[in-house]
Amino acid sequence: MNGLPIVFDRDLLALRRQRALAAPSDFLLAHVAADLVERLSAVRRDFAMAADIGTPLPTLAAALAASGRVERTLWLAPSAAAAATYPGASVVGDEEALPFADHSLDLAVSALSLHFVNDLPGTFAQIRRALRPDGLFLAALLGGETLRELGESLVAAEAEMAGGASPRVAPFVEVRAAGALLQRAGLALPVVDQDRLTVRYADPIALMRDLRAMGAGNVLAERSRTPLRRDVLARALAIYGDRFADADGRIRATFDVISLSGWAPHESQQKPLRPGSAKARLADALGTVERPAGEKAGGSG
Distance of CA 192 to the CA centre of its chain: 10
Domain boundaries, position 180: 10-148+171-203+255-265
- Is residue 163 in a domain? no
Whether the CB-CB separation of 127 and 114 falls below 8 Å is answered with: no
Mean pLDDT of 225-233: 90
Which pLDDT score, from 0 to 100, does residue 300 have?
Answer: 47
pLDDT in tens, 258-301: 999 999 998 887 665 555 555 655 556 556 665 655 555 555 44
Does residue 294 sit in helix, strand or coil? coil
Residue 25 inside a domain? The answer is yes
Q: Would residue 260 count as lying in a domain?
A: yes
Average pLDDT over residues 249-256: 98
Q: What is the pLDDT of residues 163-196, one digit of tens each?
A: 877 777 888 999 999 999 999 999 999 999 999 9
> CA 86 to CA 58: how far, in whole Å?
6
User: In the chain, how many domains are there?
Assistant: 1
In a domain, 106, yes or no: yes
CA distances, 186 to each of 54, 73, 131, 266, 296 (Å): 21, 24, 11, 11, 42
Strand order through the sheet with 47-53: 89-92, 70-77, 47-53, 105-111, 131-143, 251-263, 188-201
pLDDT digits (tens, 9 = 90+) for 137-166: 999 999 999 999 999 999 999 999 988 777
pLDDT digit string (tens) for 70-122? 999 999 999 999 999 999 999 999 999 999 999 999 999 999 999 999 999 99
> How far is 114 from 280, CA to CA, in rounded Å?
44
Inside any domain, residue 59 = yes
Residue 180, domain CATH: 3.40.50.150
Spatial contact of 141 and 174, defined as CB atoms under 8 Å apart: no
Does 75 fall in a domain? yes
d(CA 41, CA 256): 23
φ, ψ dihedrals at 112, nearest 5°: 55, 45
Torsion angle in degrees (nearest 10) through CA of 272, 273, 275, 277: -170
User: What does the pLDDT average to over 14-20?
Assistant: 93
| pLDDT value at residue 56 | 95
Report pTM: 0.85
Give the other-Cβ count within 10 Å of 21's Cβ. 17
Is residue 143 situated within a structural domain? yes
Let me know: does 78 contact 54? Beta carbons within 8 Å: yes
The answer as to whether 259 is a domain residue is yes
The helix (run of H) or strand (run of E) holding residue 71 is strand 70-77
- Calculate the average pLDDT of the chain: 90
